[in-house]
Structure 1
Amino acid sequence: MQQPLTSDPRSHGDAEWALRPELAAEAREAAHGFLAALVPEPSAHTSQNLVLLVSELVANAIRHAGEVTSLHLRADRRSLHVVVDDPSPAPPQERAPDLTGGTGGFGWPMIQRLAEKVTVLPNAGGGKTIRAVLAR
């Protein structure tokens, strides 16, 4: 995993981290570090939602696209932004949840409920970018 790029959040309330996690656990760890660096730190509820969003987006990219090409976490005075790039051009598909635990189906609807806004954009060189925004 690459080291995050950070700005000093104490100077103006903004921060940005960029990395390329190979596992969802690495992405969660990075999200916790990112949140701890913010001043003021978001509420526990917002922090939990951000970590869950990061974990699901990264896990989905690994599962369905084979890897995460980049993860960006950014904060400004009003919002927290999660941006995940992966090599697959296929957009996420909502599907019926598998209640036996075999094939999932819970992540994408959860992402859409947790975030204020979710966008999926194709990348010029192939692949896609998924952006999720939370109120800070």
Structure 2
Amino acid sequence: MTGLRSADARRVAREVLAAQDVGERVLDDVLTVVAELVTNAIRHAGGVTGFRVRCLPDAVAVEVSDASPLLPVSPGTPASTPGGFGWLLVNKLAHRTEIRTGRDGKTITAHLPLGAPAA
């Protein structure tokens, strides 16, 4: 999986969702989350070690693994550290995010609702 680029991951996600009846809004949100998680794994964690997109009964699960044990940071933590806005966006678009850590790094799973987003 090392060497997976954001464009490749978005193509895979688009293929997985093509067989589902998802609206453009859901597709756009999933592609944004895929791009953010994969790009962050490449920039900050040495690359992607695992990638999967699954359609669940009420959500789309985007799963990205990397070899770094470091957790994503939110903006302003600390204020002198740049970045974190992609992680903020992922959490805004997903109704739930999970981070599993282990000996080989971490896996982030973002669950995006299939229904209309809450107002």
Same fold judged by TM-score > 0.5?
yes
Gaps of 5+ in 2: 77-81, 115-119
RMSD: 1.5
Partner of 1:69, secondary structure, is: strand
User: How far apart in 2 are the matches of 1:34 and 1:113?
Assistant: 22
- Residues 2, 47 of structure 2: 8 Å contact kept: no
5+ unaligned residues in a row in structure 1: which ranges?
1-18, 97-102
Instruction: Decide which of 54, 59, 63 is 1:74's aligned counterpart.
Output: 54
Larger Rg: 1
Query: Judging changes above 3 Å, is the alpha-carbon distance between structure 1 residues 72 and 89 closer, same or farther for their aligned structure 2 residues?
Result: same
Contact 1:21–1:71 (8 Å) recurs in 2: no
TM-score by length of 2: 0.84
User: Contact 1:65–1:87 at 8 Å: present in 2 too?
Assistant: yes
Residue deviations 1:66-119 (CA, integer Å, cap 9, x gap): 1100111111221110111100001001124xxxxxx54320100010000011
CA contact (8 A) 2:54 2:61 kept: yes
Give the number of the structure with larger relative contact order, counting CA–CA contacts within 8 Å between residues 6 or more apart. Answer: 2
CA distance in 2, matches of 1:52, 1:79: 15
Describe the shift of the 1:20–1:133 C-alpha distance in structure 2 as closer, same or farther (beyond 3 A).
farther
- Give the alignment of 1:37-116 within 5 angstroms: 37-38=19-20, 41-96=21-76, 104-116=83-95
CA distance in 2, matches of 1:23, 1:104: 20
Query: TM-score, normalization: structure 1?
Result: 0.74
Amino acid at match of 1:117: R
Measure how far apart 1:20 and its partner are.
6.0
Closer/same/farther in 2, CA of residues 114 and 81 from structure 1, 3 Å limit: same
**Residues 50 and 66 of structure 2 are in contact (CA less than 8 Å); yes or no, is this contact kept in structure 1?**
yes
| Mapped contact 2:72–2:84 kept (Cα < 8 A) | no
Query: How many residues matched?
Result: 109
**What percent identity do the matched residue pairs reach?**
37
Q: CA deviation at 1:135?
A: 1.2
Runs of 4+ in 1 over 3 A off after TM superposition: none
Deviation at residue 30 of structure 1 after TM alignment: 1.0
